[in-house]
Amino acid sequence: MQGLGAAEVRERLERGQGNAMPSSTGRSFWRIMQANLFTLFNLIVGGAFALLLVLGYWQDALFGLFVIANVVIGVAQEFRAKITLSRLAVLNAPKARVLREGTTIEAPTAEVVLDDILVLAAGDQVTADAEVLEAHGLDVDESLLTGEADPVASGPGRELMSGSTVVAGSGLARVIRVGGDSYAARITAEAKQFSLVRSELRGGIARIIRWITVLLLPVGAIVVNGQMQAAGGWAVAIESGAWREAAVAATASLIAMIPQGLVFMTSVALAVGAVKLAQHEVLVQELAAVEGLARVDMLCLDKTGTLTEGRMVLDGVEPLAAADLAPAAQAVLAWMGADRDANATTRALVERFTAPPTEQPVRAIEFSSRRKWSAVSFADGPARGTWVLGAPDIVLADVPDAADALARFDERATAGERTVVLARTDAILDPPVEAPEGERPPEPALPADLAAVALVSFREKVRDDAHETLGYFREQEVELCVISGDDPRTVAAVAREAGIHHEGPGYDARQLPEEDAALDAIMAEHRVFGRVTPEQKKAMVLSLQRLGHTVAMTGDGVNDALALKHADLGIAMGSGAAATRAVARLVLLDGQFSRLPRVVAEGRQVIANVERLAKLFLSKTTYAILFAVVFGALLWPFPFLPRQLSIVDGLTIGLPALVLALLPNIQRYRPGFLRRAARFCIPSGLVVGGTLISVVAYAYLGGYAPPVVQTAAVITLTLTALWVLVILSRPFTWITSLVVVAAYAGLGVVFAIPAAVDFLQLGAAPLELLLVAVGASAIGSLLLEVLHRIVSRSDPR
């Protein structure tokens, strides 16, 4: 077997038949900038910002900082995810060994071509899909790709998947698929496409902004016309230059409608939550994921690496030949557990058996997944003879009177335990047979006259924190579903040990239907599944979503990547595959499953606090729209300058929001965030708006000058809107009480500082108008309180 020549390799590379992996992860940086910058919302607000700068009213253009911040946050969030996804790789082997022109050479993974012959040995990663041509005890670990925990014996003719690892033996394999056509590329191509996590907060706020953006155009036309008419008409305003002040007033009216700070403060709340989680070894890959787990009602769990630690522990030893396990057998088990060629299962024996025979064995046969047994022979001492450890159905196949041992084995297998048998014979293993040069020695045969000594059972080590963590989710009414590529019986046993109540074996996913309706029926009934392929995991997640669940998926292998990608929230273990960590929304860096309740608590805090912020900001949007329409329709001058509104917003919304966004809050998530916000903010906004309009109408009809009217408007709006803050700050704590007191005091501080009064261009209002403003604010506050109590009683909980 010679392999390809240099000319053949060059020809295939030129035809694009090399193993370079596709690197597209969605939109380019320029497309990301376009999507976040060139929106109708940004066009209107940014246009108003630019207009004020051109006119020289930079003091009134402070609202532009929020727009800039929102664009930066959006671009940074998506670009950070794009960079993370661009690093996603299932294949981490930098080089591959290939046979070319009769010589084994090392070639970069990207330069492996179609029809190349891979030279495989223990520890090698399969770098492209290949068909085995020659195998010598070749065992391949495909657990990261399929979830199957046991190595797979791979003989000639079997296909090897890229991304799998050789754990034993050697062989040659011809490359049959490369690059984007390989299994590793296909399974991760979908995962590498950027998508935002499903977020009720972000979706609700986006809908609000769309509605406001649509309203801005017609309301803006009314406002602009009203301000120009109030300045003497279009012709007079343009000729006299009064259009400049009219433009500023119109801008103030429109900008007041926009909750510029809501998206920003939501991002701040999410970012602070992400930082706090990072202190607890939880990496948040996308800010909205902080709220995600608080909304989840179905948690899908991978078994290996999530519920379990990914290692085997000794469960029990049942003697078959005597009441107690003989010291010789214990010594042999100690030797097998300590042997350097022991596999992961056998190594668990050293937990209990620590004293191997003092004599050295005369021959040992290492374990092979093809044979499913290992053996060792001692010529002297108490352990004299040959001892075999392996699968009972193989080792005891030709042993008389083994029916009882095999029956017990079947019981343990049904219970999900991994059980092997220790058998013994007086005969000593023959020396290994010398094979002709270039050929592999024949497989050794089981020794004759074996007698069963003991059944040895192993189980996967369930994480110490799994039982308590799963109990927490049950208390929170989150359903649990275990999805694994391993044997359904093993999966069911692990699930029961972890505290998931389940009777009988798990559902064998090889029997799952492909039709959506039939799959949905099974997913509605069963909660423990084994032998699940990566594509089936994805289909099962989508099925649960069709059934109305908000789904979180945990996992650590590449076989989990597609399911994590399509779940509402993907959670990866820090010790898992790079592909899985890259596609997940949350990564448990230390692999501690017990971190999840903390994530739930942070998500609840964010959701509850952002809902409170939304009510605060959207109440302002409601009364701002009312101002704009009424003053525009009546052709009255708008009673605020943009800078005056900035101060009012700072006292009633901005500064309090910084505190309210970060307060502890363990309120359980309830769907319907947008509906509840609307039920509160629309009546509240109408009351605040009606109170202000009545005071401004009194001032205009009384013939007061514009600066005096603006003073009365600032006092009325601040005092009335602050009662909205009072309502939303309940139940009062020392922090929320301090925030409310500071906000009321802030209004007095503004009027007590002459420089602030001059900057805001406020006039000295007569006592009569001040009393009207304060009295109207008191009545408005009383109406807000009554409305709030009515809405609270009718709000379903």
Percent helix, strand and coil across the chain, each to the nearest 5: 55, 15, 30
What's the one-letter identity of residue 34? Answer: Q
Q: C-alpha angle 288/289/290, rounded to 5°?
A: 90
Distance CA 88, CA 185 (A): 11
Start-to-end CA distance of the chain, whole Å, equals 74
Distance CA 50, CA 47 (A): 5
Contacts of residue 571, defined as CB under 8 A and 6 or more positions apart, other chains included, come to 293, 552, 553, 554, 555, 564, 584, 585, 586, 587, 588, 596
Whole-Å CA distances, 792 to 120, 253, 605, 606: 69, 31, 20, 21
Distance CA 719, CA 773 (A): 9
One-character DSSP codes across 683-749:
HHHHHHHHHHHHHHHHHHHTT--HHHHHHHHHHHHHHHHHHHHHHHTPSP-HHHHHHHHHHHHHHHH
Distance CA 759, CA 754 (A): 9
Helices 243-256 and 642-649, interaxial angle, to 10°?
20
Could you tell me which of 463, 375, 379, 389 has the C-alpha nearest to residue 420? Answer: 389
3-state secondary structure of 89: coil
Distance CA 636, CA 661 (A): 37
* 302 has catalytic annotation: yes
**Matching residue, tokens 């609700």:** 204
Of 139, 297, 302, 339, the catalytic one is: 302
Helices 706-728 and 734-752, interaxial angle, to 10°?
170
Distance CA 40, CA 42 (A): 6
Per the rule left: phi > 0, alpha: psi between -120 and 50, beta: everything else, 313 is beta
Distance CA 105, CA 112 (A): 11
Could you tell me which of 730, 714, 728 has the C-alpha nearest to residue 777? Answer: 714
What is the CA 38 to chain-centroid distance, rounded? 28
**Matching residue, tokens 């350097």:** 340
Distance CA 727, CA 115 (A): 73
Identify whether the C-beta of residue 162 lies closer than 8 Å to the C-beta of residue 114. Answer: no
Q: Which residues pair with 373 in a beta bridge?
A: 368, 390
Could you tell me which of 415, 500, 492, 513 has the C-alpha nearest to residue 455? Answer: 415
Just list the catalytic residues. 302
